[in-house]
Structure 1
């Protein structure tokens, strides 16, 4: 919730533009290498089937173009949760029973309850779109992008360091736990940075009408409105904001960075800014990995979350390719040793437990701000934002 002098190279490697390279090879024929995958679907709290589509697309791309992992095809074993702790635990048990080399997490708001299962099994949990507690501080979790927390930090830094705002109102989903803590921490940071008018408005994810909450958060003509919800609610929120003719700039977190959300605004998108841990992808993208994402993931499913799943699967593949023996234990050792390791469609990552104070699982807290140009997302600032050090303002550091 500070502009850092980070590399702006696509995917963040000093040697190439993405984390994955190589030339087309013969189809892998060895013993399949299992990677578990879990994400949330068919839930009123949020459904993200596009993340599974992207994860499968990444595995297919790795097998077709990169010879799998040293000639062994990647086999993705998937499981869908419904947002309840029980379903996350059930998926964890099912995936662990398959003995995968890693489990990649899509978007699962109840993932915290499953972390101990993966930890006990000695299987690393790697995520490109972490959401809540557990994913962000489990000793067995490795977040290759910072998710909602990093996006909030990036937005907060941009508003205070670049826009020099004095009035920020926030509309956030009424979900107890780390999110509420993050919102209150953001308020402390904004106040410490000189923002004199901070207003927080909570609303249920399944609210029948977002107009009253939006009218409340827009009252007083704030310099900026920050929206922290999942994609399905975000679409209804921007639709209501358009109907209410709200003109204040609205900053939305990565889970809202979806074509469906932008289109719900009915063409009134000039005041919408989306934070994401990933760079936008276009149909004519020259970066080979971005082009593979655009080719294999339908345009209406190219969300920040689907980029996160595509990225995480390929990064796990890259790390396994470097190992003499691709086992869960060896992968954990490799993850812990990373330093400015090339990412895929994202900033390089370092899993040293030091990237964000109090949240050791985050390996990369850099985000981009995006706008909607009518056809897709476009980069607003042309550089990464990293507000991780702002956390110190909440701890007295």
Structure 2
């Protein structure tokens, strides 16, 4: 199989993945929102001055079906950078905001607006039409940094995807299977071509690199009793289950597993884990389920304290839902700050295309990112290979969120990482 062919089929899962991650509230083991915020972690005042560095910011806006308060968090992040970090090379950041309401036509309008402006780059969080934006910024040689990409934005030049979204699909479960010596893994997901077909292509590749086999178990949408599907999966003797679906899907799957007294460890994505009310429908709740986490908000860490201090007073009721734009803007600042010469559209693109050293990735439990380093060889636009795994308590609260090593899971045959 050629490198180009491998790249093409590996990018396919991003279509289904984008839908899965769309409303992905970040998970946390810090439920005490009333805890006092330590503003001292913001550091001394260090105000940026001079001509602003303009950055295009595309967001859903409050008119969208789902609004995660990205604008409030983005503005708070920029205020922190401008007032305490000295902006970018001493110059303040100015956001050029554009709302797309999750409509492709409006996303296209926003992208054209940015290209025609004097913005040096474009940023976005998770809830966006990344492919539409990249299709316009890429041929215009404008850097676009997004928290989560789609099929095109994963591959188009001049586009940078901050984290490896493929980890939720297969990277983390494959790495966990490798760590524990599991040779057979069953993945249960909705019986839809956009979910099943990519898994059948990506799964053997990722799990093969982990020395394991994968069995994709499709379940018809709306199935209330998954006992037959779980029973069929058990006949192939899996040593682990991975669940890809929403709360109702995973509730039914976990109830069936309890009915059949399965003993295999279970992993899921964050979208699987619901509230305490959802947990009450499952015998024993979510206790012990491993969950692929998006971020760490633990306020016992400096990283968690900083996020809490930055968004305090932002007006966002649940700022953790918009943490991806915080990570993206802060990461762009750290990537560009200290770069020689003027901050222009050309120099910004050159810097992101070949970052000279890794930089801390916010809320990642100590992970880093380095755009241009191609940590995921088959998807070169991804800037980080880091991943997080936590454990759910009975009520769904995540604890013990830690990095998990996924190196080598997405490597091409004959390469070593």
Provide the C-alpha distance between the structure 2 equivalents of 1:43 and 1:225, rounded to a whole number of angstroms. Answer: 38
User: Is 1:265 equivalent to 2:279 in the alignment?
Assistant: yes
Provide the C-alpha distance between the structure 2 equivalents of 1:393 and 1:122, rounded to a whole number of angstroms. Answer: 32
Provide the C-alpha distance between the structure 2 equivalents of 1:40 and 1:218, rounded to a whole number of angstroms. Answer: 42
Conservation of the 8 A alpha-carbon contact between 1:273 and 1:371? yes
Q: 1:331-361, CA deviations, whole angstroms, 9 ceiling, x for partnerless residues?
A: 1211223232333233222223532122110
Deviation at 1:241, TM superposition (A): 4.3
| Aligned counterpart, 1:166 | 184
Structure 2 residue matching 1:251: 3-state secondary structure: strand
| Aligned counterpart, 2:96 | 77
Structure 2 residue matching 1:120: 3-state secondary structure: coil
Q: 1:19-58, CA deviations, whole angstroms, 9 ceiling, x for partnerless residues?
A: xx983325545333322222457899x8352444433332
| Aligned counterpart, 1:126 | 145
What is the TM-score of this pair, normalised by structure 2? 0.71
Conservation of the 8 A alpha-carbon contact between 1:156 and 1:387? no
User: Is 1:253 equivalent to 2:265 in the alignment?
Assistant: no
Provide the C-alpha distance between the structure 2 equivalents of 1:290 and 1:257, rounded to a whole number of angstroms. Answer: 25
User: Is 1:139 equivalent to 2:152 in the alignment?
Assistant: no
Provide the C-alpha distance between the structure 2 equivalents of 1:58 and 1:119, rounded to a whole number of angstroms. Answer: 26
Q: Which residue of 201, 208, 212 corresponds with 2:218?
A: 201
Conservation of the 8 A alpha-carbon contact between 1:58 and 1:313? yes
Structure 2 residue matching 1:91: 3-state secondary structure: helix
Gaps of at least 5 residues in structure 2 are: 1-9, 11-40
Deviation at 1:67, TM superposition (A): 3.4
* Segment drifting more, 240-249 vs 320-329: 240-249
| Aligned counterpart, 1:7 | none
| Aligned counterpart, 1:313 | 329
Deviation at 1:236, TM superposition (A): 3.1
What is the TM-score of this pair, normalised by structure 1? 0.74
Conservation of the 8 A alpha-carbon contact between 2:59 and 2:128? no
| Aligned counterpart, 2:309 | 292
| Aligned counterpart, 1:16 | none
User: Is 1:379 equivalent to 2:400 in the alignment?
Assistant: yes
Deviation at 1:366, TM superposition (A): 1.4
Gaps of at least 5 residues in structure 1 are: 2-20
User: Is 1:327 equivalent to 2:344 in the alignment?
Assistant: yes
| Aligned counterpart, 2:369 | 349
Q: 1:103-130, CA deviations, whole angstroms, 9 ceiling, x for partnerless residues?
A: 1121246422321311233221112233
Q: Do the aligned partners of residues 134 and 168 (structure 1) sit closer, same or farther apart at CA in structure 2, a change above 3 Å counting?
A: same
Q: Considering only CA atoms, is the larger Rg found in Structure 1 or Structure 2?
A: 2
Provide the C-alpha distance between the structure 2 equivalents of 1:78 and 1:210, rounded to a whole number of angstroms. Answer: 42
Conservation of the 8 A alpha-carbon contact between 1:238 and 1:264? no
Deviation at 1:156, TM superposition (A): 1.2
Deviation at 1:153, TM superposition (A): 1.2
Conservation of the 8 A alpha-carbon contact between 2:189 and 2:217? yes
Conservation of the 8 A alpha-carbon contact between 1:152 and 1:253? no
Conservation of the 8 A alpha-carbon contact between 1:169 and 1:217? no
Provide the C-alpha distance between the structure 1 equivalents of 2:294 and 2:338, rounded to a whole number of angstroms. Answer: 25
Provide the C-alpha distance between the structure 2 equivalents of 1:114 and 1:214, rounded to a whole number of angstroms. Answer: 43
Q: Which residue of 24, 38, 41 corresponds with 2:44?
A: 24
| Aligned counterpart, 2:248 | 236
Deviation at 1:388, TM superposition (A): 4.3
Provide the C-alpha distance between the structure 1 equivalents of 2:302 and 2:239, rounded to a whole number of angstroms. Answer: 37
Provide the C-alpha distance between the structure 1 equivalents of 2:228 and 2:345, rounded to a whole number of angstroms. Answer: 50
Provide the C-alpha distance between the structure 2 equivalents of 1:103 and 1:51, rounded to a whole number of angstroms. Answer: 15
User: Is 1:153 equivalent to 2:175 in the alignment?
Assistant: no
Conservation of the 8 A alpha-carbon contact between 1:235 and 1:265? no
Q: 1:62-119, CA deviations, whole angstroms, 9 ceiling, x for partnerless residues?
A: 2332233345432333334455543432332233334322111212464223213112
Q: Which residue of 199, 207, 229 corresponds with 1:216?
A: 229
Q: Which residue of 78, 100, 121 corresponds with 1:102?
A: 121
Conservation of the 8 A alpha-carbon contact between 1:142 and 1:362? yes
* Segment drifting more, 94-103 vs 359-368: 94-103
Structure 2 residue matching 1:186: 3-state secondary structure: helix
Q: Which residue of 226, 235, 241 corresponds with 1:225?
A: 241
Aligned CA RMSD, in angstroms, stands at 3.9
Q: 1:225-265, CA deviations, whole angstroms, 9 ceiling, x for partnerless residues?
A: 32335xxxx233344446556466442336x388x567743
